[in-house]
Structure 1
């Protein structure tokens, strides 16, 4: 199983660190000789899900599209990293079922910290009334009930989170443990 494809499904609020973790994880996985593709929520919305809004139905459609592509990649031996908010448990459960080799990682970060980071300026737009139905503010985010791992980006460094993710992937059999020299 250690050479099989699998999907790492990051979920969490905007600004929690999903994209940052994805990029750091990608580098480490490639260094281990794995083929990796990141399906970043923002990029997917620009290309694969262009024209979708932010209703529950549109958000679910977006997640189904990401899951479809992730499933194809996974079946072909690729490590797929999904970095999308994916606010609803039922859509994430559907993705898990569709993909199979699925590792859900909750990128947990308090809303106040996400607001302070506001890398994309989205929380500012929400505060100015220019953006409505924003996940975690005026639209729900359903925290995962049983993710394989929770990383807390307000309490640990990127490196610590990536180390914990690698340890979990080794524990689950998706990666071979690195022999200690």
Structure 2
């Protein structure tokens, strides 16, 4: 295997020659002046290519370098043994979950906390909406014994969610899921 390639900070530019017959093409070059399209032939076939921000957050990846469009990003090759088994191609929802650091891909622990907070907030909102409806029925004197039991369970569930440590989430059983 040849040396692993890294191209830093790919930015648009307009080449001065050799682009006849290529209207509206987006040309990119690294901060060292390497042309994106001409550099692609130097990437190894058996590596994962990652496009990432200056802070290492991965925005895109593929085994085929020609599928990347790294505008404003850097691109590096990663040996397959340095890619975690649970690595997933970034999506709009998961950008920020992985970062490139010194030739390897690693998970961003803070991302999982953000996801847990987001999920907890959605579950609390859903529980609160049902609690509100049951409290109104209770105030109207129109609540059934089954609904009283449900109200008690939902309040306990919401409290458990609120007190849950999102850095190590242990999700309480959702009474709405029954």
Task: Tell whether the structures are fold-level matches, with TM greater than 0.5.
Answer: no
Range into which the TM-score falls when normalised by the shorter chain: under 0.3
Q: Normalising by structure 2, what TM-score? A: 0.20
The structure whose Rg is larger is 2
Structure number with the bigger relative contact order (C-alpha 8 A, sep ≥ 6) is 1
